[in-house]
């Protein structure tokens, strides 16, 4: 009788610890699975990030239910997952550090809630002054390249080293170099004047057209991707970021390292194109990337 009671206590203890382990393990493994699934989903704009919250809860519950049905296989699978992340940390492209960075970036984005704006373009038969603007973006000119390299050495140099988003960080170094010194000057009254970027980098002065072409040329000179956005009586540049995961990481870098003071208490704004890719606003009207859009609607997009 005593022996049977002891055996039952052991079984109960094993059951309790198994239950706790499965619960903890389901939450731990729900993190990478949640991030992986969320990357594959189409872009959504649910209020208060309910899409992320509900998805994480659903993934956690499903994992726990599956673990309860396959308890004997869980130790093997969990060991395999830990081994995969361990090998990835040493040799592969994805390990514990990458998992931590992805999760941290996503949580940071949820807390500070950047503002996505779907890009709805009013059709135009042609982009006004397209040829003149393209000519002004003379990104192969030595003076443009020299200005960009100087900007990289003056701003965020320590952050750039070895960073997986180095080109984006360098593009934002160019943004800082231009926007902290730009002086707005109107065109002559008689006509529109489109200054080449090689001219604008000398004086960092001009109107919105000149600012946009200067920013675009300097970013293209260091390998960044940029486009020009036309609105009612305004033109501004946008930087290509990539996926929502890329933006989550860039958002964290902007707030924590690059523009912590400038964007404190302010929201970051960005456009989402038809393919679900993200572009961040680089207008001169804000001291940080992702400032409020000055004018809507968008009348045209000029890819460079």
Distance CA 291, CA 146 (A): 27
Q: If you average pLDDT over residues 95-117, what whole number do you get?
A: 71
Per cent of the chain over pLDDT 70 is 84
Residue 272 above 80 pLDDT? yes
Distance CA 42, CA 39 (A): 8
Give the helix ranges, DSSP H, for the chain.
2-40, 50-69, 71-90, 96-112, 130-136, 142-154, 157-160, 166-179, 197-203, 208-220, 244-253
Q: Which of 196, 219, 215 is nearest to 131 (CA)?
A: 196
Where is 140: in which H helix or E strand?
none
Residue 82 DSSP symbol: H
Answer whether 168's CB lies under 8 Å from 250's CB: yes
Residue 285 above 80 pLDDT? yes
Question: What pLDDT, on the 0 to 100 scale, is given for residue 178?
Answer: 96
Q: If you average pLDDT over residues 148-153, what whole number do you get?
A: 96
Dihedral over Cα of 196, 200, 201, 207: its sign: negative
Q: If you average pLDDT over residues 118-132, what whole number do you get?
A: 73
> 173-222 pLDDT, tens per residue?
999 999 999 999 887 876 778 899 999 999 999 999 999 999 999 999 99
Most confident of 211-220, 249-258, 295-304: 211-220
Question: What pLDDT, on the 0 to 100 scale, is given for residue 124?
Answer: 55
Residue 33 above 70 pLDDT? yes
**Distance, CA of 228 to chain centre:** 19
Answer whether 304's CB lies under 8 Å from 199's CB: no
3-state class (DSSP) for residue 200:
helix
Q: Which of 242, 226, 233, 204 is nearest to 281 (CA)?
A: 226
Distance CA 62, CA 67 (A): 9
Task: Give 294's pLDDT tier (boundaries 50, 70, 90).
Answer: confident
Answer whether 212's CB lies under 8 Å from 228's CB: yes
3-state class (DSSP) for residue 290:
coil
Higher pLDDT among residues 79 and 123, named by residue: 79
Lowest mean per-residue pLDDT among 33-37, 111-115, 273-277: 111-115
Q: If you average pLDDT over residues 52-59, what whole number do you get?
A: 85
Q: If you average pLDDT over residues 129-136, what whole number do you get?
A: 93
What is the pTM assigned to this prediction? Answer: 0.73
Distance CA 286, CA 293 (A): 9
Task: Give 93's pLDDT tier (boundaries 50, 70, 90).
Answer: confident
Instruction: Look at strands 115-118 and 269-272 and give their pairing.
Output: parallel
Query: In the chain, what are the domains?
Result: 2-113 (no CATH), 118-303 (3.10.620)
Q: If you average pLDDT over residues 27-40, what whole number do you get?
A: 72
Task: Give 89's pLDDT tier (boundaries 50, 70, 90).
Answer: confident
Question: What pLDDT, on the 0 to 100 scale, is given for residue 74?
Answer: 72
């Amino acid at each position: 009788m005593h022996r049977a009671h002891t055996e039952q206590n052991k079984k109960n203890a094993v059951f309790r610890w198994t239950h706790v382990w499965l619960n903890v393990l389901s939450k731990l493994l729900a993190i990478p699975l949640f991030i992986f699934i969320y990357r594959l989903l189409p872009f959504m704009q649910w209020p208060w990030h309910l899409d992320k919250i509900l998805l994480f809860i659903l993934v956690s519950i499903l994992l726990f239910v599956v673990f309860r049905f396959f308890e004997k296989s869980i130790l093997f699978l969990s060991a395999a997952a830990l081994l995969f992340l361990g090998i990835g940390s040493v040799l592969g492209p994805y390990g514990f550090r990458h998992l931590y960075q992805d999760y941290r970036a996503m949580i940071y984005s949820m807390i500070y809630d950047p503002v996505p704006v779907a890009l709805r373009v009013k059709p135009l038969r042609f982009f006004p002054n397209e040829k003149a603007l393209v000519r002004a973006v003379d990104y192969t000119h030595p003076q443009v390249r020299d200005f960009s390299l100087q900007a990289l050495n003056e701003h965020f140099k320590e952050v750039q080293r070895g960073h997986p988003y180095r080109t984006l960080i360098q593009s934002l170094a160019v943004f800082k170099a231009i926007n902290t010194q730009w002086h707005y000057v109107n065109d002559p009254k008689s006509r529109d004047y489109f200054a080449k970027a090689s001219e604008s980098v000398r004086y960092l002065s001009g109107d919105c057209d000149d600012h946009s072409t200067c920013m675009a040329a300097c970013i293209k000179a260091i390998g960044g991707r940029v486009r020009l956005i036309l609105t009612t009586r305004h033109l501004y540049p946008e930087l290509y970021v990539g996926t929502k995961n890329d933006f989550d990481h860039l958002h964290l870098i902007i707030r924590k390292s690059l523009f912590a003071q400038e964007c404190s208490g302010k929201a970051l704004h960005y456009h989402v194109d038809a393919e679900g890719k993200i572009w961040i606003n680089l207008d001169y009207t804000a001291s940080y990337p992702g400032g409020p859009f000055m004018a809507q609607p968008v009348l045209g997009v000029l890819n460079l």
